[in-house]
């Protein structure tokens, strides 16, 4: 009888421990981890753009929600931030001049975003705005403005239009795909005119429309060859760079006048 009671008593002691362990695992919050195919993009003189692949996994995800599509991801590549000025030309006494301008506060110079589906189907606008997901128009806040306040909307439209036209701002709904139950991959396009500097890859996880977690990592964009030499000269020795540029323009103009001079 003692031999039979001992294993039974042991099972009653062990089962609650396993049950508590499963409960603790179920209560752990979801975590998103990411990596990138190339941590550095080299810009050569013949650079015409490229693609980078961001891959990652969702830890502690609920299997049933994964199967039913309850998780959504937004992956974005944000360029260095800077104050960006948009100017409006007007005709004054027959000459087109920059009459008014708006300077927007520290906007990313480039912005490429992809997601599992369209943003408006992932979460409510308030949820997206609270966690700074996407590029909401309300984030375009002017720091200086020399025109009428009601015209700020016009400058916002012009700013976004120029960025989209140059492909420095772009989005790709549906570009994030799950390659297994919790593993995902996202393809982000790097435009030819991407600015130099340290960019940020940011992955944001939503569960049934609610923000859950995010992860970010840096991506360096560096110029190589002659472009790097010219850029470094302009930044480190601006006076010499300016003098050389003026001399080069004078010599080029003088040489062109000699070549095309008519006797």
Q: Give 128's contacts (C-beta < 8 A, 6+ positions apart).
A: 119, 122, 134, 136
Higher pLDDT, 217 or 228: 217
Residue 47: pLDDT band by 50, 70, 90 thresholds? confident
Q: Report the residue count for the chain.
A: 263
Task: Identify any residues that bridge with 200 across adjacent strands, giving them in sequence order.
Answer: 78, 218
CA distance 20 to 33: 26
Q: Strand, coil or helix: what is 128?
A: helix
Domain 28-79+108-223 has CATH 3.20.20.70: no
Q: What is the pLDDT of residue 186?
A: 93
Q: What is the pLDDT of residue 160?
A: 87
Tokens of 160: 């976004």
**Comma-separated ranges of CATH 2.60.40.2550 domains in the chain:** 28-79+108-223
Q: What is the pLDDT of residue 185?
A: 94
Strand ranges across the sheet with 169-173: 40-43, 210-223, 197-207, 71-78, 111-115, 169-173
Q: Strand, coil or helix: what is 230?
A: helix
Tokens of 87: 């100017």
Summarize pLDDT for 104-151 with one digit per residue, the tens: 878 888 999 999 999 989 999 889 988 889 876 556 677 766 666 667
Tokens of 10: 């042991």
CA distance 69 to 63: 10
Give the CB-side neighbour count of residue 187, counting CA atoms within 13 A. Answer: 7
CA distance 102 to 147: 8
Task: Using DSSP bridges, classify how beta strands 142-145 and 95-108 pair: parallel, antiparallel or unpaired.
Answer: antiparallel
- Among candidate residues 70, 58, 28, 26, the one with its CA nearest the CA of residue 203: 58
Residue 33: pLDDT band by 50, 70, 90 thresholds? very high
Average pLDDT for residues 21-32, to the nearest whole number? 66
Summarize pLDDT for 152-185 with one digit per residue, the tens: 788 888 888 888 888 899 989 999 999 888 899 9
CA distance 139 to 84: 13
Spatial contact of 114 and 187, defined as CB atoms under 8 Å apart: yes
Task: Identify any residues that bridge with 53 across adjacent strands, giving them in sequence order.
Answer: 187
State the DSSP string of 60-75: T--HHHHHHT-EEEEE
* Helix (H) or strand (E) run with residue 217 in it: strand 210-223
Q: Is the pLDDT of residue 1 over 70?
A: no
Q: What is the pLDDT of residue 211?
A: 95
CA distance 206 to 198: 26
Q: Is the pLDDT of residue 233 over 50?
A: yes
Residue 263: pLDDT band by 50, 70, 90 thresholds? low
User: Of all residues in the chain, what percent carry a pLDDT higher than 70?
Assistant: 78
Q: What is the pLDDT of residue 13?
A: 47
Q: What is the pLDDT of residue 159?
A: 85
């Amino acid at each position: 009888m003692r031999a039979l009671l001992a294993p039974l008593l042991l099972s009653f002691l062990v089962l609650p421990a396993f049950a508590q362990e499963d409960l603790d695992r179920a209560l752990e919050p979801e975590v998103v981890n990411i990596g990138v195919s190339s941590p550095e993009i080299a810009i050569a003189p013949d650079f015409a753009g490229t693609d980078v692949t961001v891959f990652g996994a969702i830890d502690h995800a609920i299997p049933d929600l994964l199967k039913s599509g309850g998780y959504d991801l937004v992956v974005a590549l944000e360029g260095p931030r800077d104050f960006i000025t948009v100017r409006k030309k007007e005709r004054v006494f027959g000459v087109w001049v920059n009459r008014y301008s708006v300077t927007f506060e520290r906007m990313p110079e480039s912005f490429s975003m992809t997601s599992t589906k369209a943003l408006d189907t992932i979460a409510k606008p308030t949820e997206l705005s609270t966690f700074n997901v996407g590029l909401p128009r309300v984030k375009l806040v002017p720091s200086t403005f020399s025109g009428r306040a009601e015209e700020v909307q016009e400058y916002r439209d012009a700013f976004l239009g120029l960025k989209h036209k140059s492909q420095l701002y772009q989005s790709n709904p549906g570009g994030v795909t799950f390659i297994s139950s919790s593993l995902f991959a996202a393809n982000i396009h790097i435009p030819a005119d991407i600015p130099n500097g340290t960019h940020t890859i940011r992955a944001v996880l939503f569960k049934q429309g609610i923000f859950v977690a995010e992860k970010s990592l840096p991506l360096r964009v560096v110029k190589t060859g002659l472009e790097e030499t010219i850029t470094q000269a302009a930044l480190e020795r601006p006076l010499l760079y300016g003098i050389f540029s003026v001399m080069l323009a004078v010599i080029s103009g003088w040489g062109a006048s000699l070549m095309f001079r008519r006797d």
